[in-house]
Amino acid sequence: MWRKLFETFRSWDGTLFVITLLLLSIGLAELYSSSLSQPEVADLFTRQLVGLFVGLAALVAAATFDYRWYRSWSRLIYLFGVVLLVLVLIWGRTVHGTTGWFRFGTVGFQPVEVVKLLWIIVLSSYLSHVGPPLTWGKTVVASLLALPLVGLVMAQPDFGSAFLILVTLGALLVVVPKPRRWWLVAGTVTALLVLLSVSFLRGYQLERLRTFINPQADPLGSGYNVTQSVVAVGSGRWWGRGLGLGTQSQLQFLPEQHTDFIFASIAEELGLVGSGIVLGLWIWFFLRILRLIRRLRDDFAVLVAVGIFSLLAVQVVLNIGMNLGLLPVVGLTLPFMSFGSSSLVVSLAAVGVLQNLARQYSHQAPLPLTVEGRQA
């Protein structure tokens, strides 16, 4: 057993693992800083530590199994994800208007976080099984697979998670070889669906869009969060005010500083230098995943890596963008750094899957999808 674990660790992408640990450390330091002025956050810090240890165990477990096992059980994995989302609607706990948590004593679990990763495995299995080129029939089937998940998540309602499921669907469809006319039709259909979806947005979601366009229209109401976030980022200047010394953070002007707006808290207390380091680490993190994708040897592995890349990258871009006032507030946390045990455990498990794939390096770098090479 120990020999097998040692061989597993030797085949890891050590750089990717170290970057992950650095992001985790900065997030924990900032969460601890928030706990200094908010006693209720101290309990969250302890829970995050517990989530960290569970997540590291999940990382090791995900890295140990042969990744092809996920493909073999993809149908049961899909069914398991659907059942989880149904059960949480029936017996789940409602927090901030969203029925999306199971509670076991003091421990909370958010099933949709697991479903996001399971969905990537299921969709990757389907697309690698049917192979290229991507026809409209295959596109429709892939979309129909996503429909129950999106519908159940929207029923909670959790718009951000439903959006991420659709993003990973789009990302995986894009990388599969396809006829040129597919792009024109897909672009038209997507534009129509986006316009149609606006009519289904709830009042608070429309208010967020209006706030994004003009946050100063209601600086003490709907625009308060964005305004305080931008102030916190700017007040950090070059070197920051120091951990535990941020006025916006410690005096609690900055809302949700341990979740949605943790980057603004980092920028205030660690300054442009500290927030720049965080941005640099994230860029390095995603470059390592791209490097991994170029070296993978089969379609299923490539698709899974692309799905994980898109899932994490979209969250990072949207979270940091809304902290800087560049994007609307969408309620997505910053992976590895924001508080959220379920998100932390699943994000670390996703890194474990990437480490699993890293063991499958080929000595010759293939095309982005090997099926394209076979098709030619």
pLDDT at position 362? 42
Partner residues linked to 57 by β-bridges: none
In a domain, 7, yes or no: no
Measured between alpha carbons, how far apart are the two ends of the chain, in Å? Answer: 43
- Quick check: 346 pLDDT over 60? yes
Q: Is 72 exposed, middle or buried (0-12, 13-18, 19+ CB in 10 A)?
A: exposed
Of the listed ranges 97-111, 133-147, 183-197, 314-328, the least confidently predicted one is 183-197
The number of domains in the chain is 1
Model pLDDT, residue 46: 87
Q: What is the pLDDT of residue 373?
A: 37
Segments in the chain forming alpha helices (H): 2-10, 14-37, 39-64, 68-72, 74-91, 111-130, 136-154, 159-175, 180-198, 203-213, 224-235, 247-250, 262-295, 299-323, 341-358, 370-375
The lowest-confidence range among 9-13, 168-172, 217-221 is 217-221
Give tens-digit pLDDT for 221-260: 556 778 888 888 888 888 888 887 787 877 777 887 888 8
When comparing pLDDT for 81 and 1, which is higher?
A: 81
Question: Which range among 6-10, 48-52, 286-290, 302-306 shows the weakest confidence by mean pLDDT?
Answer: 6-10
Q: Are 242 and 267 in contact (CB under 8 A)?
A: no
> What pLDDT, on the 0 to 100 scale, is given for residue 209?
60
Residue 251 falls inside a structural domain:
yes
- What are 29-44's pLDDT values in tens digits? 998 887 777 766 667 8
| Other Cβ atoms within 10 Å of 267 Cβ, number | 29
Residue 321 belongs to some domain of the structure:
yes
Please give the pLDDT value at position 2.
Answer: 57
The answer to whether the beta carbons of residues 159 and 306 sit under 8 Å apart is: no
For residue 176, is it within any domain?
yes
pLDDT at 42: 66
pLDDT at 211: 57
Question: What residues pair up with 108 in beta bridges, in sequence order?
Answer: 103
Q: Is the pLDDT of residue 3 over 80?
A: no
Q: Is residue 162 part of a domain?
A: yes
Q: For the residues 48-68, what does the mean pLDDT come to?
A: 91
Give me the pLDDT at residue 337, please: 94
Residue 203 lies in a domain: no
pLDDT at residue number 272: 94
Domain membership flag for residue 4? no
Query: What is the structure's pLDDT at 367?
Result: 44
Q: Which domain range does residue 119 map to?
A: 12-198+221-375
Which one is predicted more confidently, 373 or 105? Answer: 105
pLDDT of residue 348: 97
The answer to whether residue 96 sits within a structural domain is yes
Mean pLDDT of 329-354: 92
Say if residue 192's pLDDT is above 50.
Answer: yes
Report the pLDDT value the prediction gives residue 375, as an integer from 0 to 100.
Answer: 38
Assign 191 a pLDDT band (cuts: 50, 70, 90).
confident
Task: Return the pLDDT at 270.
Answer: 93
Only one residue has tokens 């997507």, namely: 190
